[in-house]
Structure 1
């Protein structure tokens, strides 16, 4: 019967259990351990196998992920006070040179006094004694030696790093590119090691400093346990224009002496002593467009005098490059709510024919709609980049550029204070200007642990580049800083 069979089955199981207990009880300690090992070795092998796969996968993940890049410290060169030139002295020097007619002098005077530049910027000695041609290789090398070695001496002193410890060297200078290169000049001066990886970037304009950081990052990813130094500068005297073409006189009015040297590391042990960690780099190049390509163009005038020609459409071209750059940067840094709002506006504009929606108001080209239709459309939504960054270091190209960026991005006066004050105190120092701005923020002791810093620069080509840093600690007022003797007098009200 089923009940009997079930009872027998249960009885059999119970008997086997009792038998097993009796058998275990009759075993010695050694035999008991042997039996346990035989019963569990297959399970142990499985566990060890899974554990080995887990450790291997974890190791591959950590070895293949990009290494963190740390900004240990940086230095900005401050020239000697005997190279200071006020706005009025600048015009006096230009008149003394005998190279400019009265109309050209009046034009430069008008530009300088409305530029936002102060009365304590620096020009090379060759320009101060400008009776002769300043665009010579001798004068170019002399200026390069002064600014580069000045910045590097301070960097090595601040970081206590020996020049021979540097494994990667990147130098960028747009106009002056001698042979041997500027990077070779540095290696020769500091007697750096023979297997150093050195690079010299030329002709890349004011945004080349971020390009140099990008190159250094890639090299550090490929070369573990290393240091990289990025030197950013421009030779002012070598590019001094002495002709009459107004679009080529503009660079004379803005560009001044300057140089920055930045120490980057991929060594984990440098985390504690570093100031910042690199988070994002976004580069935008509009060189495929002919108008953008020629917006800042080195050329000779009708008299054969070499200089930089600045297009009257530069602001519009820069706005278009900015639009592309921050549209790419936005998803990387903006909160999700801002991204959703921006995406919804893009979809609305695409479906219902609204304005060309951009990340910056006023930087897009005019849509092909009638004025009546355009007036009905809503203005494009501008993402609030103040939610993504605590500090902004916008390339101090000119007062007008800073004004437009402040208006388009909806920034406060405090957000662009570093840019305005750098332009006022040091002028446009080209690719190094964003580092003078960061030095200003540090001198004001505004950078706190966890703060995000956005450096944004523009350059010939036409290029717009962004780099984002995250502060690793509260930055106290440095012992060496180009602002230390005057930081208490800033901010100042710049002239209109």
Structure 2
């Protein structure tokens, strides 16, 4: 087996550096070939007779270079980011969760037992967080309580980000906020503008109803805006709101989110200023978005609705994992050619052609080795089944999915912000080195699968008030799968 691994490594190295090797051989051949070259005097004579041509060539070169540098995509840097850490009084153990559920008196005994089983199998630990409104007996699912939760999470993350980066809020030119289920008027983006007195001409966006993958969508939108507006910052805020979205009925497909979703949020500062490269953590390399909404099953697999008793909740379909698998295949088919070494692309193409030529229907398609393209994987901590499926499909090791499993255990499913808690975990472990590539991948209602690829610009240390700083020494913990 070891010999086979060495052969495979040798193959990948040879194919990856094939063009470089050929270039070296070509240069050597040119150097040793007996070719008559123009002498310096002959060259000077030629220039005298071709002055107009020389001037035209220089002009064309300058013009072409100017057009190239002006039109090429601007680099987008991740200066820093922050994840919200709720206060200790909002922690919810299994016992607290079940006791509160019993006191609510809206759940039948079978629903309580169902939630208990889901909670035990979920992969969540004993230190996740619920908002104060849900801790109350009876709960307070009011608009005021929902606003209070949103302010605590969003302002908490942004305050820490501003403290760490020392930027003036009025320098921010682009603001993108995403929260799927809570979209009041004025919007959450307007709430941020009001709180931090952001400038009047800021380009602000408020994304709603886009599910757990909206964090990548928000980054993609901010990146597009940074291609248009020069020398500015973009603030991306990702969160979800639980207060008004707790389900108080007995439909099992709608009880599952109660057991998985928890309080959390992130704030990310992006920049297109060349001078910010030195102080930034990462550079955005790719974003790939996949939407399967044209398929009815995919569209309906995560659906907000009312049950027969007119109680609102989010229903999760039994087809969710198979639909997520199809969305993943489509996404990595687009992402693969952008990130995989040429050696893996050749193997994939060869397998595809062989399958078509020999009509080998039973032959499994070749799954590219994404471990050759990425050093760290931030898989949306939507639930244990999501992480299990990607670990199996992409042939990842337990180490590759450690950040996702530990985030699910410590913080639960924090929706679109979970991929940032995972990156914070990797940084807290001191694993991110200069040149490392990070793959953030998330799934969301609609149905969507979105990816973001970052490259580390330096050895990355955890930022001040990293959400893991007080407990990282206890992780990883063993989880009963």
Partner of 1:86: 93
Partner of 2:441: 456
Rounded to whole Å, the distance in 2 between the matches of 1:103 and 1:133 is: 24
Q: Are residue 166 (structure 1) and residue 138 (structure 2) matched?
A: no
Partner of 2:84: 77
Q: Secondary structure at the match of 2:479?
A: coil
Partner of 2:105: 98
Equivalenced residue count is: 438
Q: Secondary structure at the match of 1:346?
A: helix
Q: Secondary structure at the match of 1:180?
A: coil
Rounded to whole Å, the distance in 1 between the matches of 2:248 and 2:400 is: 37
Name which of 185, 190, 195 aligns with 1:189. Answer: 195
Q: Are residue 120 (structure 1) and residue 127 (structure 2) matched?
A: yes
Does the 8 A contact of 2:154 with 2:237 survive in 1?
A: yes
Structure 1 pair 133–352 and aligned structure 2 pair: CA distance change class (3 A): farther
How far residue 40 of structure 1 moved from its aligned partner, in angstroms, is 7.7
TM-score normalized by the length of structure 1: 0.86
How far residue 111 of structure 1 moved from its aligned partner, in angstroms, is 0.2
Partner of 1:261: 267
Name which of 279, 294, 302 aligns with 1:296. Answer: 302
How far residue 43 of structure 1 moved from its aligned partner, in angstroms, is 4.0
Name which of 232, 246, 251 aligns with 1:240. Answer: 246
Q: Secondary structure at the match of 2:314?
A: strand
Name which of 51, 57, 63 aligns with 2:58. Answer: 51
Does the 8 A contact of 2:146 with 2:241 survive in 1?
A: yes
TM-score normalized by the length of structure 2: 0.89
Rounded to whole Å, the distance in 1 between the matches of 2:289 and 2:358 is: 31
Rounded to whole Å, the distance in 2 between the matches of 1:130 and 1:301 is: 23
Structure 1: 5+ residue stretches without partners: 1-38, 356-376
Does the 8 A contact of 2:140 with 2:243 survive in 1?
A: no
Partner of 1:60: 67
Partner of 1:336: 342
Stretches (4+) displaced over 6 A:
39-42
Q: Are residue 141 (structure 1) and residue 147 (structure 2) matched?
A: yes
Does the 8 A contact of 2:264 with 2:417 survive in 1?
A: yes
How far residue 200 of structure 1 moved from its aligned partner, in angstroms, is 0.2
Q: Secondary structure at the match of 2:283?
A: strand
Rounded to whole Å, the distance in 2 between the matches of 1:329 and 1:379 is: 20
How far residue 47 of structure 1 moved from its aligned partner, in angstroms, is 2.2
How far residue 340 of structure 1 moved from its aligned partner, in angstroms, is 1.0
Does the 8 A contact of 2:424 with 2:462 survive in 1?
A: no
Name which of 414, 425, 430 aligns with 1:445. Answer: 430
Rounded to whole Å, the distance in 1 between the matches of 2:360 and 2:325 is: 19
Q: Secondary structure at the match of 2:326?
A: helix
Q: Secondary structure at the match of 2:374?
A: coil
Partner of 2:411: 426
- 1:484-495 pair list within 5 angstroms: 484-495=469-480
Q: Secondary structure at the match of 2:305?
A: strand
How far residue 152 of structure 1 moved from its aligned partner, in angstroms, is 0.3
Rounded to whole Å, the distance in 1 between the matches of 2:300 and 2:137 is: 29
Rounded to whole Å, the distance in 1 between the matches of 2:439 and 2:182 is: 28
Partner of 2:136: 129
How far residue 53 of structure 1 moved from its aligned partner, in angstroms, is 1.3
Partner of 1:391: 376
Rounded to whole Å, the distance in 1 between the matches of 2:360 and 2:302 is: 32
Does the 8 A contact of 2:179 with 2:239 survive in 1?
A: yes
Partner of 2:16: none
How far residue 42 of structure 1 moved from its aligned partner, in angstroms, is 6.3
Rounded to whole Å, the distance in 1 between the matches of 2:84 and 2:325 is: 30
Rounded to whole Å, the distance in 1 between the matches of 2:480 and 2:164 is: 35
How far residue 351 of structure 1 moved from its aligned partner, in angstroms, is 3.1
Name which of 183, 201, 219 aligns with 2:225. Answer: 219
1:354-383 CA distances to partner (integer Å, 9 max, x unpaired)? 34xxxxxxxxxxxxxxxxxxxxx3332111
Rounded to whole Å, the distance in 2 between the matches of 1:133 and 1:303 is: 19
Rounded to whole Å, the distance in 2 between the matches of 1:131 and 1:185 is: 28
Rounded to whole Å, the distance in 2 between the matches of 1:422 and 1:121 is: 10
Q: Which entry has the higher C-alpha Rg, 1 or 2?
A: 1
Rounded to whole Å, the distance in 2 between the matches of 1:351 and 1:442 is: 47
Q: Are residue 345 (structure 1) and residue 351 (structure 2) matched?
A: yes
